[in-house]
Structure 1
């Protein structure tokens, strides 16, 4: 095998094969070279433009829906949505669906806020069992149901649309909060019966970290005024201030919003979410096929794989150590992700961001070299 030299000397960008933060275009990064005051009329127009573009990406009517951006990570927005959706009523209860790390995080959010909640566990990397969900929905009343669309701990897509239909039929009054962090902008979610769809600027939108946002049904959000248990995570108050003045209530992430505006322009120029999904799917198909040739096996069966991120089982070889594998790849300018499944040892490789087929092919070549250098035979037995 021809040698690949260290492609990431100091000052050169590494390729991020991660679910976010991820590799951005130079234009997105250059957009952050401008300074704006949070009260500047020009910046207020930028916030308005970003909100409208996000609505357009979602295919959501501005009459029925609002985009509420919030400073911080995507988890801040998930927490804000749950805090805002659940009434201040001692009988209000949340049903959390969990089949991975981010489902467990929904439960942690409820516990931290002292919200009464039940957790339906389906096992890591196991899709939601809708029959089990329906039995639970028939057993007691819930003020809110929270679920994850793309469980990025393993790359599993959950059937949130079918779940929405079950919820509508059995508990039409319950709020439905969907964590669409790693899917919004590429993998569609029908908005029927969803009340709060949560996402982040630094995933499939291909912006930078700094803010997330909630696509909220405006009428439902208005009914949630006064629910939030915290000041800064009050989505209803944030929405009302934006509608009144166009401004964030507290210091906005100005540069991240500039990056998002450029990233949204690029998403539109690429052909929208459908075109971006096709690119990600091409990346993922090349990755999985090339990894199989090296002897690496995906954690999930082929029909369960999604193009956002793929988990691969550790090679069963005495000379394979993930920490060494990771550092060697990083030295070649290729950054992957450790596993987030507790029941099996695996690592993850993302295919989203400013990545194209040649990037994936180069990564596979680097993986082959690293395995060879570690003394792991190829293909891995």
Structure 2
């Protein structure tokens, strides 16, 4: 081929790694060698790891004729796309993890679960479980989404703290497994099991995290997607009796963090330096509504309906050019949710009757 005289295979690989997924889907058809290179599992992993400018996916829950999904950066709108319509009954959208989102919908009395990769437009509908899923209640029931890092197996967990049993779906098994959980939340007492209404993903390195408030204390409950068990750990120290917890979890690089409202515009940022051991990182002042978290940053919405990113470690801000009136409203009432997004070649399509290997190949999606 002509390209082989101009580029070495290593140079060609580096060039392709810098391209978006839509271009790679087209370039797979250029020749067999290009297709094999792009379909290689190591290419999929390296493409996901490649450092790219941060993007955010804005999902408009109230969209009708307008695009449902807008991809934005701090420089403005990157792309507007009309993806497959999932209807107006989405109760939960989580992600992204390696570019894949989880969608929960409630239709009549049925709870439907779907995985979705916006980059290659793949959709995978999960089979029904043998356990009944009750509608959303933030105090004791949730469906969450995570990845087992060693096997690259996406999993979905359903739990109900009032019941003894939970259910977990594995893409590699393509089925739900019912198990007896050890989740300890006293619903009748003063415990409040907090679910993140901002729709940001409290997933980190194989674990999903929740904050449990107990009177004037808080603790952390996590789910280990590898061993498929719940794990309990201590939250930050209670401090003096006037210090109250009204907090959200956030991700600070590769560490778990807590953003706690103190008074007025004042918030404390706590960071977990090892399981159950916490330090107060910084005290900050936030004067606008919080929309999401990513890396070391908080995404806020201004009075003029623009997004701004504030890095709690560097104290730097970045103003986005994107404006949308729905950013001022919660997804529950038809507003917009903001998700940190890094597109990927990961495939979620079923591979016939064989076991699914999510990072082993990428086939073009068709609706």
Q: Is the shorter-chain TM-score for this pair beyond 0.5, marking a shared fold?
A: no
Q: TM-score, normalised by structure 2?
A: 0.26
Higher helix residue share: 1
Would you tell me which structure has more strand in proportion to its own residues?
2
